[in-house]
Amino acid sequence: MRLPRKCSITRRADFTRVKTTGHAKAGRFVVLSTLADPTLDALKTGFITTRRSGKAHERVLLRRRFRALVQAHAPGFSDLRRFLITIARPAASQASFAELKADWLKQAKRLGLFPRPEENT
Domain-embedded: residue 97: yes
Entry pTM: 0.89
User: Domain holding 93: CATH number?
Assistant: 3.30.230.10
Q: How far is CA 67 from CA 11, 44, 48, 84, 113, in A?
A: 18, 12, 12, 11, 17
What's the CA gap between 109 and 103, in Å, rounded? 10
What's the CA gap between 91 and 112, in Å, rounded? 24
Domain-embedded: residue 1: no
User: How many CB atoms sit inside 10 A of residue 79's CB?
Assistant: 14
Domain-embedded: residue 69: yes
- pLDDT for 6: 84
Residues of the chain where predicted confidence (pLDDT) is lower than 50:
121
Provide the domain count of the chain.
1
